[in-house]
């Protein structure tokens, strides 16, 4: 069985633009980037969300395994950004930290 070596694209230099990708095409980057929601690092990318104009999206491994938990964490973080009250924001940020920690432990337990 032969292994096909996939070209790695430098995302900082936007090399993916020369790859001729169509929506939902996937590729690998030269370095790993952290998910904005849970912080897990990945070098896997997908173009858009099924239609033109969305650009590249990082493929989060935690989201792939636990999409409901990942989406709940995202909603908490968005709510913390939108709230005007400092006390409420701090409580939501604390809740997000606990949930992120729980989610990453759950992810690493399965991955091992």
- Residue 24 pLDDT: 85
pLDDT in tens, 27-76: 999 999 999 999 999 999 998 865 566 789 899 989 989 999 999 999 99
Report whether 58 contacts 44 (CB < 8 A).
yes
Choose among 25, 30, 36: nearest CA to 15: 30
- Residue 111 pLDDT: 56
DSSP string, 15-76: GGGGGT--TT-EEEEEEEEE-TTT--EEEEEEETTSSTT--EEE--HHHHH-HHHHHHHHHH
Domain residues of the chain, as ranges? 8-59, 66-111
- Residue 3 pLDDT: 42
Query: DSSP class of residue 3?
Result: P
């Amino acid at each position: 069985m032969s292994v096909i070596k996939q070209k790695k694209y430098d995302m900082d230099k936007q090399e993916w633009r020369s790859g001729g990708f169509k929506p939902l095409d996937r590729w690998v980057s030269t370095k790993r980037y952290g998910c904005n929601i849970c912080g897990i690092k990945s070098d896997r990318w997908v173009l858009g969300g099924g239609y033109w104009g969305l650009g590249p999206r990082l493929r989060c491994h935690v989201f792939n395994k636990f999409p409901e938990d990942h989406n709940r964490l995202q909603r908490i973080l968005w709510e913390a950004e939108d709230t005007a009250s400092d006390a409420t924001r701090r409580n939501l940020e604390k809740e997000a930290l606990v949930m992120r920690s729980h989610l990453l432990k759950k992810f690493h337990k399965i991955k091992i």
